[in-house]
Amino acid sequence: MGRDITEREYSASDYEQFNKRIHDQVDLLKEVIARPGFGTDEPCIGAELEVYLMDDKSDVSPVNVQLLDMLNDSQFQTELNKFNLEINLSPVKAAGKPFSNLTKEMLTKFNYLWSTAEQINTRPLAVGILPTLQEKHLSNKYMTDIGRYRVLGRELLKQRGEPFHIKIEGEESVDFFSSEVCVEGANTSFQVHLMTKPDEFANVFNAAQLTLPMALGVSANSGILLGNCLWDETRVVLFKQSIDNRIPDASGWRQPSRVTFGHGWVRKSAWELFSETVNLYQPIFPELYDTDPALEVPELAELNLHMGTTWPWNRAVYSNQGNGHVRMEFRALPAGPTALDMAANAAFSIGMAMGLADRVDEYMARIPFRFAEYNFYRAAKKGLDATILWPQKYQNKPQELPLKNVIDDMLQIANDGLAKINVERAERDKFLNIIQRRLATGINGAHWKKQTLRHLRKSMDNHQACAQMLDRYFVNQMGGQPVSEWERCWK
C-alpha cells in the first residue's frame, strides 16, 4: 500500500493479468518459504506509528503534505487523511533491549515532529481516534491528494454500490452514512512487526490470535468518536464498517469482510494466509510491476500489494530482504497514550504470542475459533471491564471470566515468551510492569479519556470538554509517564 499508484480506470484485462500473477506468486511463495536458509536472519521487531495533527484549538490540522516537506525525513509518510502522518520506526534486534530501543526512537522522532509542527501551529498527537473529530472532517476535502487513496475510495465504493453505514452503540451512539473512505482514516494505530521462523509461524500466529483480546483490552485508547463515548476500542468497529464493500447476493451469501479477525486457525504455515487472501478477495489495485529475474529471493510485488488491500487484525507479511522472511504484523494496537505505553503493549503482545506458542494446540482444542473472535469483539467493546470465554481446569467448556483475571495470568506467560527471544530480564520487568500497573489501577487510555470527559462535561459543553480533555492528554503525553500514572480529575 506504500507504492505510488497513478489514478486511472482499470480494464477487465488488467484484473485478469493481475489475478493470474498473484496466483502464480502465491504458488512460488510456497516454494520460497520451504527453501533452506529462508527466514534464518536474526529476528527483529519493527513498528509503524500513525499520529493525528491538531491545531491550537484541538481540532484537526490538515497540513500533512506541508509538514512532510518541512521534515524532509523518509521515515515520515502520508496517511489517508490530511490530518494524519505515519512514522516508520527502524527495525531493532529482538534480543537485548528492543522495547527501550523502540521507545528511544519514537521519542526522538516525535520530538522532531513536534518541534517542526509547532512552526505551523500544529500539535502531533498519538491517539486512537481524535475525540474532537467532526463529521465534516470525514469527507474527501480532507483526503490526502495521492492517487492510491483516491483509487482505494473509488474501487471500494464501486464494489459496494451504496454508501457505507456507520452505526455504533456504546454508552452513547453514532449513526450516519458516508460515501467516502476518509472515515477509515479516523483510526490511528501502532502496528508492531515480529520476524518469525517459518516452522514456528503457525503456532505463534495462532497464539497471537488467541491472546489478542488481552492485548487489546489492556491497551484500549479509542473510546470517543465525534464527541460520543462508544466502545473502548471504537477503531475495531469503525474500521470494519468504514470500508465494508460487501453486498449480499440474491442467495443471501455474503463475501468475507476485508477487515477481519480471520477465518480459522492456521494449520501448518504462513502460506495458508497468503493463499486465503488471494482466493477469497477481489483485487482492488490490479497494478503490474517489472520483476528482476536476478533476485535470489523474489520480490512478489503484486502479491504484497494485494495483501495490503485486506486488513486482518493480525497479518502475515512477506519480505525478500536478506535471506527473506515472513513476519507477523500486530495491527490491532491503538496509537498512544505514550511511547512507554505503546512499547509495553508491543512487549505484552509479542510475549504472549511467543510464550503460548508451544502450548497453543491445547488451547485451540478447547476454544473454537469463533469463541476467540467473540472474545476479541468483547475486549474491543468493554476494554478492561470485558468478560471473555476462557478454558478452566476440570471444566467441560470455556467459562465466562473477567478479562482482567486472564491478563493477570498472561503476565508470566508473556515474561517467559520474551525470555525465549532473549529479551533481557530488566527489560521484561520494565515493560510488563507498565501493563501490571494498568491492571492494578484499572486505567488505560480509553478509561482515562472517558472519565475525564464526563467530569469536564459537568461545567462546559461537550465540544469544549473534548478540547479541554485533549489539552490535558497532550500535556500528559509530552510528559511521558504511562497513562496509569496520569492525574485523575474525576476523583
245-278, pLDDT tens digit by residue?
556 554 455 678 889 999 999 999 999 999 999 9
Domain hosting residue 158, numbered range = 12-440
User: What pLDDT is recorded for position 57?
Assistant: 92
In a domain, 475, yes or no: no
The number of domains in the chain is 1
In a domain, 146, yes or no: yes
In a domain, 447, yes or no: no
User: What pLDDT is recorded for position 323?
Assistant: 93
User: What pLDDT is recorded for position 251?
Assistant: 45
User: What pLDDT is recorded for position 155?
Assistant: 80
Give me the CATH number covering residue 125: 3.30.590.20
User: What pLDDT is recorded for position 250?
Assistant: 46
In a domain, 182, yes or no: yes
In a domain, 484, yes or no: no
In a domain, 180, yes or no: yes
User: What pLDDT is recorded for position 74?
Assistant: 96
In a domain, 68, yes or no: yes
User: What pLDDT is recorded for position 314?
Assistant: 98
Positions of the chain with pLDDT under 50: 1, 250-251
Cβ neighbours around 172 below 10 Å, total: 14
In a domain, 434, yes or no: yes
pTM: 0.96
